[in-house]
Amino acid sequence: MMSRNAVEQLLDAAFGPDRHGRTAYLIRDGMPWLPELSFGMRDGEGRLIGSLQSWPVALAHEDGSRTPLIMVGPVAVDPAVQGAGHGRALMDAVVAAARARRSDPLMMIGDPEYYGRFWGFSAEGTGGWDCPGPFEPRRLLALSVDGRPIGGTGMLGPRATVRA
């Protein structure tokens, strides 16, 4: 179990304390991370050195319908141990878990050359997607983990939940 405080400290170290204004934060605003698709990595002393959270988000279409998606990231590795394959291991874990669960499609904002090469993420089906903040369309990536097609048009945002 990853403590929220340890994760926040790691994210600050990896991305800086100004990270909260990024578009990815707006897309998943208010959503709790999905424990079954979120992973942590500890060193020999038990210190958190890597984390990856996944979030329930959705693509809201003009007709009011929504396509559920799972936003992957941030993938954070302690700067002192970056380059040793920890981030790649975290990504391997989330993609394998999503495939095993036949989850909703994964999406992320990231480097298509890296995430495409190792896991098959692509911007092919995301051309009609918009975000609540600035983004580079080529970095808006998705991956179907069960063969469902990815596409559609609309605005990305938190997945609405209804409680009775």
- Domain architecture of the chain: domains with CATH: 4-158 (3.40.630.30)
Residue-level pLDDT at 75: 86
Residue-level pLDDT at 78: 84
| pLDDT tens-digit series, residues 8-67 | 776 666 666 776 567 888 999 889 999 999 998 988 898 888 889 999 999 999 999 999
State the average pLDDT for the chain: 89
The residue ranking higher by pLDDT, 9 or 123, is: 123
Residues found in the chain: 164
The residue ranking higher by pLDDT, 82 or 85, is: 85
Res. 2 pLDDT band, cuts 50 70 90: low
Question: What separation, in Å, do the N-terminal and C-terminal C-alpha atoms of the chain show?
Answer: 29
Q: How far apart are CA 94 and CA 104, in angstroms?
A: 12
Q: How far apart are CA 89 and CA 107, in angstroms?
A: 18
pLDDT at residue 104 greater than cutoff 90: yes
Query: Structure pTM?
Result: 0.88
How many of the other CB atoms lie within 10 Å of CB of 50? 24
Cis preceding linkage at 74, omega within 30: yes
DSSP letter at 73?
E
Residue-level pLDDT at 161: 59
